[in-house]
Amino acid sequence: MKTTFNILITGIGSTTAIGVIKALKKQNEFKVFIIGTDINEKENIAGSKFCDKFFQIPPATNEESYLNALNRIVNSESIDLLIPIIDIELEVIARNRNIIKKSTYLLVSSYKTIVTCNDKIKTYGFFKNFRIPTPQTFLIDNLNSTKDILANADINFPLILKPRKGLSSRDVYEIYNEEELCLIKRLKEPIIQEKAKGEEYTIDIFCDGENLISAVPRKRIDTRAGISYKGKTEKDEILINYAKKISEELHINGPANIQCFKKGDEIKFLEINPRFSGGLPLSIAAGINTPLFALKMAAGEKIKPVNDFKIVKMCRYWEEVFYYE
């Protein structure tokens, strides 16, 4: 069995990527060499400090240039495992997996699954089709059509306004009255969503394409820019059972995180992100090292489901890195 891995992780400038790298270096079952990529220069991101090697690459919005750069790195660095972090990269890699070296294990779900998760209207449709509780959600064209929808729907202010496709909490607004609906002009393909009530949860999951390997619900006590800064794991069987249903219906391969709100017995599911989460270190501290699971999958191991984890609370802080000239 393979015991040494060259691992390529994209989006190294993100908090999520740093959490993944720390988890990979924390385990002692495999030797790892971490290659990181980002659209920013090495000295402008903290994540490059955690890598053994770094490459600056074009953004995935420039698909041809991005894929050419990615393939050069995959081939020149003999990459064994590729872990995409950024949402748009997931789509590009999933859609073009056939042009990436066959011996490189891609930790990414199918293109169909990625699109269903990244498109909030498709996600809403998925939830409705499989009778998973979710807030009412509407794709809107303009201010007048929005007012018509609200007049005919059983939905009240406050509402959530956000883009059909978006990153973390960017361009997300809470709307309290009709006058504030003018904010829809700021967004491309805006959607209006019923505001979910209660406490916010993320469920970190890992799957093998068919089966749920692990699910760790964690309460998001405090968030900043869409990332959990204070949180606590909870053994909530109802949330875990929903996570199992969602993951197996979507055939998720590798990591994902599911976002929901819970108030008493009422649960509303909002989003599915088919990648590692920014709050991943909390699940790892609870004893579920999902980046290690990724290594085992890439090595061809069959991973048994893990049902037990610790109850643990997390608080985070800033830490500096320095680049001397």
Q: Which pLDDT score is estimated for 183?
A: 85
Nearest CA-CA partner of 270 in 164, 133, 139: 133
Q: Check if the beta carbon of residue 230 is closer than 8 Å to that of residue 203.
A: no
Sequence-distant contacts of 102-105: CB under 8 A, at least 24 apart: 104/74, 104/79, 104/80, 105/80, 105/81, 105/297, 105/298
How sure is the predictor about 20, in pLDDT bands with cuts at 50, 70 and 90?
A: very high
Give the pLDDT confidence of 100-126 residue by residue, as tens digits: 999 999 999 999 999 999 999 999 999
**Rounded Cα distance, 98 and 323, in Å:** 38
Residue 65 has pLDDT above 90, yes or no: yes
How sure is the predictor about 168, in pLDDT bands with cuts at 50, 70 and 90?
A: low
Give me the percent of the chain exceeding a pLDDT of 90. 83
Single-letter residue type at 83: I
Span of 35-44, 85-94, 138-147, 258-267 with lowest mean pLDDT: 138-147
Give every CB contact of residue 98 below 8 A, 6+ residues apart in sequence: none
Residue 1: is it exposed, middle or buried by C-beta count within 10 angstroms (0-12/13-18/19+)?
exposed
Q: What is the pTM of this model?
A: 0.95
Q: Is the dihedral of CA 287, 293, 294, 295 positive or negative?
A: positive
50: left (phi over 0), alpha (psi -120 to 50) or beta: alpha
Token pair 């997996």: residue: 97
Domains of the chain: 4-108 (3.40.50.20), 136-194 (3.30.1490.20), 197-315 (3.30.470.20)
Cα–Cα–Cα angle for 32, 87, 37, rounded to 5 degrees:
40
| More confident: 262 or 325 | 262
Q: Which pLDDT score is estimated for 252?
A: 98
Q: Which pLDDT score is estimated for 143?
A: 66
Q: How far is CA 17 from the centre of its chain?
A: 11
Per-residue 3-state assignment (H helix, E strand, C coil) for the chain: CCCEEEEEECCCCCHHHHHHHHHHHHCCCCEEEEEEEECCCHHHCCHHHHCCEEEECCCCCCHHHHHHHHHHHHHHCCCCEEECCCHHHHHHHHHCHHHCCCCCEECCCCHHHHHHHHCHHHHHHHHHHCCCCCCCEEECCCHHHHHHHHHHCCCCCCEEEEECCCCCCCCCEEECCHHHHHHHHHCCCEEEEECCCCEEEEEEEEEECCCEEEEEEEEEEEEECCEEEEEEECCCHHHHHHHHHHHHHHCCEEEEEEEEEEECCEEEEEEEECCCCCCHHHHHHCCCCHHHHHHHHHCCCCCCCCCCCCCCEEECCCCCCCCCC
